[in-house]
A and B are shown apart, each in its own frame.
Chain A
Amino acid sequence: MLLAVLSGFILAACAPWLTRLLGDRAGWVLALLPAALFVYFLSWIPLTAGGAAEVVHYSWIPGLDINLSFLVDGLSLLFALLISGIGTFIIIYSGGYLHGHEYLPRFYGIMFAFMAAMLGVVLSNNIISLFVFWELTSITSYLLIGFNHEDKQARWCALQGLFVTVAGGLALLAGLIMLAGAGGSFELSELLNSGDVLRDYPLYTGMLILILFGTFTKSAQVPFHFWLPNAMAAPTPVSAYLHSATMVKAGIYLMARLNPGLGGTDQWLYTLGLFGAVTMFTGSFMALRSTDVKAMLAYSTIMALGTLTMLIGIGTEAAIIAALAFLLAHALYKAALFMLAGGLDHETGTKNILNMGGLRRLMPVSFITACVAALSLAGLPPLFGFIAKELMFEATLHAPAIATVTTVLAVISAIMIMAVAALFALRPYTGKLKETPKQPHEAPPSMLAGPVVLAALSLVFGVAGFLPVQGILHSAVAAVHGSPLEFKLYLWHGVNTPLLLSLLAVVTGLLVFAGWDRVLAVYRRLTFIDRFGPERGYERVMAALVWVAEWQTRVLQNGYMRNYLITILLTAVALAGGTFFIYTGNTVPFGTVDITFYEAVIAALIIAGAIVVSLMQSRLGAVATVGMVGFGVALIYVLFSAPDLAITQIMVETLTVILLVLVLYRLPRFLNLSSTAARIRDALVALLFGGMMTVLILAVLDVEVVAPISDQLVAWSYDEGHGRNIVNVILVDFRALDTLGEIFVVGLAAIGVYAMIRLRAEDKRS
């Protein structure tokens, strides 16, 4: 199982080389991997019969409870079969569609990585490894959507898809971590058995919102649906794959998967049911508005995703059966239709349905296939899509609490989708032949294999409903429901409400089809859709992001050193001074300090020096006054009997003053550029900081130290360190490493200065 999931990644790494090696046959040969995977997954079907589940476990990062454990049951197998089965045809199809494209080698690489990631999503038992694969689908689909990357529009669309799905992904991550916390495990197989615990979790609603944010963005539910039609910037094989069996179905998969654990609550019913219904309506409404064949199909995908979400939300037995049947039906016809749309585009050079017509003689196979697949989309007998739609009506009619809304929206959607299906199947092929950018002829076999097989399956499953049921749907329904259900799928259920609703939808839909040109004219007047849709919201957010970023950078990183210094000093005052204030309050923590006469005089000198230096208008005077402060410090050393320190200090001060004077001599005249207000502000900051330091030092002096290490150092100095001067012994023995470090500091400074003087880029250029 591990190999099955990861083989796609391995092949992704070699696909570019293989493609070059194999040339024209690459598509057919590379398709062997997904085909083999399909057969492999088929072999698992007997093991999952009757709703049995199997967990295959591989350790990955056990310390973090992240493992490559796989859950094989009807639901994951259904998805795995769709991914590998449709994937096989997509790979073959790509070879024809992108024939001779310079990027075909890397295209296959990314495609296989994407396929493997999808398989990982649907098969993972560990929710974190599920998330890992989930994010990988986002990244790889980004690379696929932006495949024509020198086109600005494609880059923009790719970013949009990525941003929306990753934003949802991050919420999902938080939700999944909460889920694991609530259920006490990271393994789906254990979590799904503790549904009662999960539903009683105090933060259930928050957790649900986070998880649904992830699944809604991924599965393009309103109001996040806008990225999906834009994702058609991808080459058609990618769209066909993303829309039919993969990417957008990942969210549906996760909701179906979590149904036994999280479903059955009011929150679940209303959120999924209503968002799904609205999405279903929006998708079909927008599909009817489109003239681009790919856009039509993309919006009809949104319709399907909404339907699935709604059905999972309703969550009754009928709804779950309907959801899985619909899922299968949709995957089959949508992949076929997209590949046919790609064929039209490929052969005629246009995607606009208004510019096509009369192609039935030139592309007969495409025409027949399109009719079959579109019948399934429209939900007409004897196709499998019909069974799915009947089940869907059945489920909405008996939905708890929201039956009216869902049924009404479902019927309206069905009407519009009926019209769209008729448009897609008839408009390009019937009527008079129209002039197109390319001379059309039938698509090559590589591009017809998929549509023909998939459309045929739609037909076979429709006539022989027991095939998919016994094969996989039965165990898939068991997985979503939590326990096995007995059901059978037939075309004919007798005359009942769903059938009448279907009839209504078909008739009205055909009328809409007949009057489509007038419908389009009405649509054109509805410009508010473009002006106020959620896509505008996305654009606003992105623009605001850049605006805030630029504003913040102007304010914070403003380029003025003085502002930086002030900010840092005030932060220090706020944190240290504030803390001091909080902890000591108004009580003064330090006692009285005995000050001798000499100390007072020296302190006064130093303070006076500091004040004078900040008021001084001449540089020379300022330097001299700074010297006064330094010599004052040296005097303090003398007072406390540290003559060597005092000597050092005096030497340093003298040298500094001399050097500074030498430098100042070469500088331009002193200019006072600060306003008075700025100077007062600076003075306040300085006083605050200085005052805080003084208080801190006084407070620390008051702390009684029991046995400072200096006592021991004094004791050791002569006997062990062999020196009478304790300071010297500390410098060269006790703490010699410090001294060594400081010697290097001086050396480094010398190198720096030398380089600064000798290596000047400006000189070199002139």
Chain B
Amino acid sequence: MNPDVALPVLIPFIAGALSLVFYRSLSVQRWIGILGTGALLVASIYLLYMTYTQGIRVMAMGEWAAPFGIVLVADLLGAIMTVLAAILGFAVAVYSLATISRDNIAYGHFPLIHLLLAGVCGAFLTGDIFNLYVWVEVLLVSSFALLILGGERAQMEGAIKYVTLNLLSSILLLVAVGLTYGMTGTLNMADLVGKLAAVENQGLVTVIAMLFLVSFGIKSAAFPLFFWLPASYHTPPVAVSALFAGLLTKVGVYALFRFFTLLFDHDVGYTHEILLWMAGFTMITGVLGAAAQYEIRRILSFHIVSQIGYMIMGLALFTPLALIGGVFYIMHHIIVKANLFLVGGVVYFLRGSYDLKQIGGLWREKPWLGLLFLVPALSLAGVPPLSGFFGKFIIIRAGIEQQSWGIVAVALVVGLLTLYSMIKIWAEAFWKAQPEAHAERAAQFTAALPTRSLVLMLMPISALALLTLFIGIGAQPVYELASAAAEQMQNPQIYVQAVLGDSQ
């Protein structure tokens, strides 16, 4: 038994439950918010350390042996994702202290964050496809509740689209899980590896794979399934947007990586070709969507879509290098994307708007904020030596080695257009002088922002920016980690062996 695997799920559950117990005390909830996510961070780093040094960690729930009970499994991919979730959880908890209104905290902001994290970590760590569905439900409902918290009309509109389209994804997932069980009589991922291979009609397995693809494609906001994301991400408080931006779609991407390396690698020529097309269109449509926007959060939201394409491209190319690139890209992206939203929040609290036409003058007034914006923004655009460059470099190199010229060209051009969007934010919000018409509102907002809040916002932003610099300039250890994770993905037998033991 390895309880360390369960801790990243257990800790946020307990923290969430405790927050609910202290529903009436906002300060206690804030403390639990920091301590709970802090503990999660420690536990997840410990788990990653154990997984890296000792191999895949498995814990059978209730000691019912696999494949009969539910197992939690931490391979490197799962452990890495858990650490990333914990980093974001902690950063957003700190940021929330300064930016979330009393009302939102009184109505459950912190418990929802904890339970969202529990759902996300559960999804990353479960080794059972039905259990995965349950975690996806947990995170869906908690994110829905976070999305409507505040009760603005725009929030409602966004939330309805969000929940409807995501429920559709859940239904598809449930159907696919049911059909898989109908074909194989098992739900355990490791057990499925062998049993799916034993199914006589392999064509049918591919069909089921497509159902999973559509379901997770919706979750990860891939083309042409991404509509819910740009419709909703700009509506909640920015701390929540940041958490969503970093984590939610990545659950879908994680699931695609898990399913299309472990379970569905029987017909790569077909399935991964579809993934490759999906990746290309996701990149293009996302980045073009962003080019048409003038609101910081909307620009950033569309870029999430676009960046998902790079990750799927790594999976779709399916060479060792490409998988490394995919994992590297995910690590980079989660940190950078969330951070951009957090910086966007500071811009809002200094200027009173997210609309680029109404704001300006920040480079003159707050040069440090400019630098804190440039680090994640240029990283997102893939400018060396920041983290995004190396992610892109690995994937593009993998593409060139495969001579997949089309997708390589798309990835390069999309990089340029990403830079275009980031420069747009930079030129408008930072370089341009503050437009006169909105100068008064901007000055009021700047004056009304207490230093303490500003410091609380800048702490997580600076920490994430430092991480971005580290992932870039110190890419070697990150590369090694991604490489070890890809190694495990390339060899499903390691996973099967760890879960089912030698009995196979």
Contacts and interface: CB of A to CB of B under 8 A. Distances in A.
Contacts of B483: 63
A765 B251 CA distance: 37
B450 to A, nearest CB: 22
A63 B69 contact: no
A667 interface: no
A709 B210 contact: no
B476 interface: yes
Interface in B465-479: 475-476, 479
B64 interface: yes
A759 B149 contact: yes
Contacts of B480: 63
B200 A549 contact: no
Interface string A170-188: 1101100110010000000
A748 B142 contact: yes
Nearest to A120: B385
Contacts of A565: 164-165, 168
A455 B470 CA distance: 45
B435 to A, nearest CB: 11
B138 A745 contact: yes
Contacts of A61: 390, 475-476, 479
B153 A744 contact: no
B211 A576 contact: yes
B393 A550 contact: no
A591 interface: no
A748 B112 contact: yes
Contacts of A742: 134, 137
A163 B479 contact: no
Interface in A111-154: 128, 131-132, 135-136, 139, 142, 146, 149-150, 152
Interface string A748-766: 1101101110111111100
A755 B146 CA distance: 9
Interface stretch (B36-44, B50-58, B222-230, B331-339): B222-230
B479 A575 contact: no
Contact of A576 (B106, B111, B207, B288): B207
Given A557-B230, A745-B137, A583 B210 contact: no
B188 interface: yes
A737 to B, nearest CB: 5
Given A556-B224, A703-B204, A712 B68 contact: yes
A575 B182 contact: no
Contacts of B111: 751
Interface stretch (A72-80, A292-300, A654-662, A694-702): A694-702
In this complex, the interface size class of chain B, counting residues with CB under 8 Å from chain A, is 35 or more
Interface string A352-389: 00000000000000000000000000000000000000
B145 A703 contact: no
A708 interface: yes
A106 interface: yes
B151 A174 contact: no
B60 to A, nearest CB: 10
Contact of A703 (B183, B191, B363): B183
B107 interface: yes
Contact of A709 (B67, B119, B131): B67
A64 interface: yes
A62 interface: yes
Contacts of A571: 214, 217, 224-225
Contacts, number: 297
Contacts of B168: 565, 568-569
Interface stretch (A28-36, A259-267, A635-643, A728-736): A728-736
A171 B415 CA distance: 11
Q: Is the interface of B mostly helix, strand, loop or mixed?
A: helix
B77 interface: no
B62 A738 contact: no
A756 to B, nearest CB: 5
Nearest to B150: A761
B369 interface: no
Interface stretch (B87-95, B394-402, B436-444): B394-402
Contacts of A167: 416
A705 B179 CA distance: 12
Interface in B392-450: 393-394, 396-397, 400-401, 408, 412-413, 415-417, 419-420, 423, 427, 430-433
Nearest to A169: B416
Contacts of B160: 561
B153 A762 contact: yes
A683 interface: no
A752 B292 CA distance: 33
A755 B270 CA distance: 46
A736 B290 CA distance: 44
Given A546-B291, A549-B291, A556 B285 contact: yes
A745 B198 CA distance: 35
A132 B106 CA distance: 48
B138 A759 contact: no
A752 B141 contact: yes
B201 A174 contact: no
Contact of B122 (A583, A713, A741): A741
B107 A583 contact: no
Contacts of B183: 700, 703, 705
B145 A576 contact: no
Given A155-B427, A705-B183, A755-B145, A579 B206 contact: yes
Contacts of B394: 64
15 contacts: A61-B476, A132-B385, A142-B423, A177-B400, A552-B292, A561-B161, A568-B218, A697-B179, A697-B182, A703-B200, A703-B204, A734-B64, A744-B16, A745-B134, A749-B145
Given A552-B289, A735-B131, 14 more contacts: A132-B389, A162-B423, A170-B412, A174-B412, A556-B224, A564-B228, A568-B218, A569-B168, A583-B203, A708-B185, A709-B68, A709-B187, A751-B112, A759-B107
Interface of B: 13, 16, 20, 61-62, 64, 67-70, 103-104, 106-108, 111-112, 115, 118-119, 122, 130-131, 134-135, 137-138, 141-142, 144-145, 148-153, 160-161, 164-165, 168, 172, 175, 179, 181-188, 191, 195, 198-204, 206-208, 210-211, 213-214, 217-218, 224-225, 227-228, 230-231, 270, 274, 285, 288-293, 363-364, 367, 378, 383-385, 389-390, 393-394, 396-397, 400-401, 408, 412-413, 415-417, 419-420, 423, 427, 430-433, 475-476, 479-480, 483
List the 8 closest pairs (A to B, CB-CB), nearest first: A708-B185, A583-B203, A752-B145, A149-B431, A549-B291, A741-B134, A132-B384, A564-B227
